[in-house]
Amino acid sequence: MAVIAVFNQKGGVGKTTTTLNLLGAMARIGQRPIGIDLDPQAHLSTIMGGAPHRPEDSVNEFFVKGKPLLSLLRPTRGPTEIVAAHIEMSRLDSLLGKSLNAITRLAVALQRRPEPERHVVIDCPPQLGVLSLNALFCCELLVVPVSADFLAMHGARSIDHALNALEPVLKRRLPRRYLLTRYDTRRKMCATIAEQLVSEFGADDVFQTRIAENVSLAESPWLKMDVFEHAPASRGANNYEALLAELVGTGLVS
């Protein structure tokens, strides 16, 4: 099993799109992954079957009242299940603080889950608060989407600095890989950003797969589908198939 967190402190870089379509790619090859939506905006939840109306039916109840995490699983159209988000989760930083107990709750729950062979993909909020810290403490790989623009590159540097500062608390180096999104071969800047990622973070920490600008990727969330449901022959679907294949090649995902 693998626990993968998708995080960037900059919005609009393809964080939820990547979570959605990694889950879709896993389901497409016969797996039954679990999605966890930690973003109070609940975009992933909305796409994958509808965000709950009550905070009691979301992951908020796990953090606030200790409700068993997997009792909050909600079905989707396919084999994937999701633990949904709710806007009430935006209050969790002030309610929980950032004690070690507060930021390791998700890790403890996932270690005890009854089906450890099921992969977990976590959509993080775009802030380094208690929810994102929970994801960082429990994940085996952090995927950092970086859109092909210079502001996103600045955000990638900020994440790298934050992760390095967290290493004494984590007591390990958190494996991370940067994923270039919204890539367009017609734009010279995209090639420049790709070169900078490798130069600054090393080739081993940058996915070879690049997610191209693609109409189908943009349309599918609006239709409440992943790209494989909406346009399985599209370039976007091909890109996310390649991304999953690259993850399988690392041995982290089977």
pLDDT of residue 158: 86
**Angle at 131 (CA atoms; ends 130, 135), nearest 5 degrees:** 115
Task: Compute CA distances 39 → 148, 235, 249, whole Å.
Answer: 23, 27, 29
Across 68-75, average pLDDT: 94
Enter the tokens of residue 71. Answer: 């009792």
In tens, the pLDDT along 32-68 reads 999 999 999 999 999 998 889 999 999 999 999 999 9
Q: What's the whole-model pTM score?
A: 0.95
Res. 77 pLDDT band, cuts 50 70 90: confident
Query: Angle at Cα 9 formed by Cα 141 and Cα 159, nearest 5°?
Result: 55
Predicted confidence band of residue 90 (pLDDT cuts 50, 70, 90):
very high
Q: Which domains are delineated in the chain?
A: 3-250 (3.40.50.300)
pLDDT-derived band at 136 (thresholds 50, 70, 90) equals: very high
**In this model, does residue 174 exceed pLDDT 90?**
no
pLDDT for position 33:
96
- If pLDDT is split at 50, 70 and 90, which confidence band does 119 have? very high
* Residue 188 pLDDT level (bands cut at 50, 70, 90): confident
For residue 229, what are its two tokens?
């449901």
- Judging by DSSP bridges, how do beta strands 120-123 and 81-83 pair with one another? unpaired
Backbone Cα Rg of the chain: 17
Query: How high is the mean pLDDT of the chain?
Result: 92
End-to-end Cα, the chain, rounded Å: 8
pLDDT value for 142: 94
Which of 47-51, 126-130, 168-172 shows the lowest mean pLDDT across its residues?
Answer: 168-172
Residue 56's pLDDT is: 95
Question: CA–CA separation, 68 vs 75, rounded Å?
Answer: 16
Q: Give the DSSP per-residue string, the chain.
A: --EEEE--SSSSSSHHHHHHHHHHHHHHTT---EEEE--TT-HHHHHTT---SSGGGSHHHHHHH---GGGGEEE-SSS-EEE---GGGGGHHHHHTT-HHHHSHHHHHHHT-S-TTS-EEEE--SS-SHHHHHHHHH-SEEEEEEESSHHHHHHHHHHHHHHHHHHHHHTSPPPEEEEEEEE-TT-HHHHHHHHHHHHHH-GGGEEEEEEE--HHHHHHHHTT--HHHH-TTSHHHHHHHHHHHHHHHHTS--
pLDDT of residue 251: 82
pLDDT at 170: 80
- At 166 the pLDDT is 85
Per-residue pLDDT at 11: 77
Q: How confident is the model at residue 132 (pLDDT cuts 50, 70, 90)?
A: very high
